[in-house]
Amino acid sequence: MVLKPQDVLVVLKLLAIGQSSWSYASLAVQLGMSPSQLHSAVKRALAAQLAVRKGDDIVPNIRNLEEFLIHGLKYVFVPAQGAMTRGIPTGYAAPPLSKHFAATSEPPPVWPHAKGEVRGAAFSPLYNLAPQAALADSQLYELLILVDAIRGGRARERETAIKELKKRLASYA
């Protein structure tokens, strides 16, 4: 079974909703996926041990998720970076990382999106539905920003994102 980017998105969404209960139907709507796509993503996340069953619930496997996000993600889901476009800020240009980095003359990384209000360098999202899901969930948005900084940021951006991600993962556990 091959892990897909939507599988990581689903596990990040589970992390964002915390201990709240969820159903396949509700989570599918929140992520813009079909219930069958979501079910397949959860099955792959369980097989990859990024999520585990806890009684009747499926929850993120924090230890394995942390290891994968920090050490493996940037090699598996390499971001494409492109031309100037309008989009949603990501990486060092968006909270929670933007408070750690001063504004520069460089164009910020953005996910190309029609609802985006920032002009910057195109940075492919982890999964094509991620920007829409992020607009509806600020917690998920921040997790995706941290993941993007790890996937395609410079060394200092990655280090800062890793520290912030570890704090969030520790607070979930």
Q: What's the pLDDT tens digit per position in 132-146?
A: 999 999 999 999 999
State residue 153's pLDDT score. 93
* Residues across the chain: 173
Token pair 């394995």: residue: 64
Low-confidence ranges of the chain (pLDDT < 50): none
Interacting residues of 144 by C-beta distance below 8 A, sequence separation 6+? 9, 12, 90, 125, 126, 130, 134
* C-alpha–C-alpha distance, residues 122 and 117, integer Å: 13
The two three-digit tokens of residue 143, written as one number? 């997790």
Domains and CATH numbers, the chain: 5-76 (1.10.10), 81-172 (no CATH)
> Checking phi first, is residue 142 left (phi over 0); if not, alpha (psi -120 to 50) or beta?
alpha
Q: What is the pTM of this model?
A: 0.96
* C-alpha–C-alpha distance, residues 77 and 90, integer Å: 16
